[in-house]
Amino acid sequence: MNGPDEVNWDLTYACPLRCTHCYSESGRRPTRQASLADQERIADALISLRPRAVQFSGGEPLLVPGVFRLAQRFRAAGIPVSLFTGGWLLDAGNLGEALDAFSSVHISIDGASADVHDRIRGRAGSFARAVRALELLDQAADQAVAEGRTSVPFGIDCTLVRSNFSDMESLCRTIAAPLAHIEFVSFGAAVPGGLASRQSYAEHELLGDDQLDMLARPELRERLATLLPAQVRVQTFDGRALQMHPRLVEAGHAMTGLMQVEPDGRVCGMAMYEGTVGSLLHEPAQVVWERAREHHRSPFVVEALAPVRTMADWATAARRIDIHFGSVADRARIAARPVFLQAGGQVARGASGRPPVDLDHS
């Protein structure tokens, strides 16, 4: 049996934040959260595929009752589970359960200051909460070391757009470096999925191709590493492996082994794109996975992505693919997305008081 290398499971679309680049549009749509019994069925279906690792994402996974028990279900099967969280809900009250349940904890920090981070994440106070979560993880690691126990790896995930691209060095110096036990800092380009696929967002906030090229070079990682303690791994990701361009697939540079699962067990044809190919609750997991593995070879996907050379090209192709494969509800949600304007990241409002929508779905 040939299962996925990794699984990213968005446990819920509920979220306390309103990130401008959110690929799942969490906090703005029905949560689609499955019952605990169905979550366990989905988990068992995924376990049957024997992935190397599972990521709990969302939305905010810590909003899901039973999330720690669900993670332990994978751990008991020998599959590591990572928590990806905005940090809003990680506190002293649930920290111990989180550290018992997860193999690693990733805190999203999208800027070196509250001004930058809170604007991108869409909620005042989100920077302070994320930094506090990191401090709690560091303190817990310090205690583990003092007691001769192995600490749970934790670190920072930063999604890069134009308005925070220059914050990388400052983030390393002022946020990551003071944490004695942090193990990784990851910088990844926002890709044109979900809200980030809007034409207005692509024009104002998605990185330019020169910035993507910079992320792909080892020199950047080496420079950032000099700002951090020796144990910290610096990762940079230009996002192109998620594109599924036929040329990258052929060269083995595309993430064809990544399985994206929606909250209710539906499996996406391709991570970061709209359109599902089946449900883990209603069909054998291997059948659904095989269908997802072939999705990037469909004639429409190949035709849409073959001409892509730039980030702007990719955003245009992503909108075409999302409209083509999205459900009726998906297309309605896409049509209602508000226009993103560069100035302060604010949405313009018309005479009606309602924001305009981004209507280019070419």
pLDDT at 172: 98
pLDDT band at 1 (very low <50, low <70, confident <90, very high): low
Q: Could you give the percent of the chain with pLDDT greater than 70?
A: 94
Asked if the model's pLDDT at residue 43 lies above 80, the reply is: yes
Q: pLDDT digit string (tens) for 231-266?
A: 999 999 999 999 999 999 999 999 999 999 999 999
58, 70 contact by CB (below 8 A): no
Average pLDDT over the chain reads 94
Phi-psi region of 222 (alpha: psi -120 to 50; beta: other; left: phi over 0): alpha
Q: Which residues contact 212 (CB under 8 A, 6 or more apart)?
A: 189, 238, 239, 240, 311
pLDDT at 354: 44
Q: Could you give the percent of the chain with pLDDT greater than 90?
A: 93
Burial string for 104-143 (b: 16+ CB within 10 Å, else e) reads: bbbbbbbbbebebbbbbbbbeebbebbbbbbebbbebbee
CA distance 36 to 15: 18
Asked if the model's pLDDT at residue 328 lies above 90, the reply is: yes
pLDDT band at 362 (very low <50, low <70, confident <90, very high): very low
Region 48-67: mean pLDDT is 97
Asked if the model's pLDDT at residue 86 lies above 50, the reply is: yes
The 3-state secondary structure of 216-270, one letter per residue: HCHHHHHHHHCCCCCCCEEEEECCHHHCCCHHHHHCCCCCCCEEEECCCCEEECC
Asked if the model's pLDDT at residue 352 lies above 70, the reply is: no
User: DSSP state, 24?
Assistant: S
Q: Which residues contact 93 (CB under 8 A, 6 or more apart)?
A: none
The kind and range of the H/E element at 82 are strand 81-85
Q: What are phi and psi of 268, to 5 degrees?
A: -75, 145
pLDDT at 341: 78
pLDDT at 170: 98
Region 101-110: mean pLDDT is 98
Q: Count the neighbouring beta carbons within 10 Å of the beta carbon of residue 346.
A: 11
Strands 53-57 and 6-10: parallel
Q: In what order do the strands lie in the sheet with 154-160?
A: 233-237, 184-189, 154-160, 104-108, 81-85, 53-57, 6-10, 258-261, 266-268, 276-279
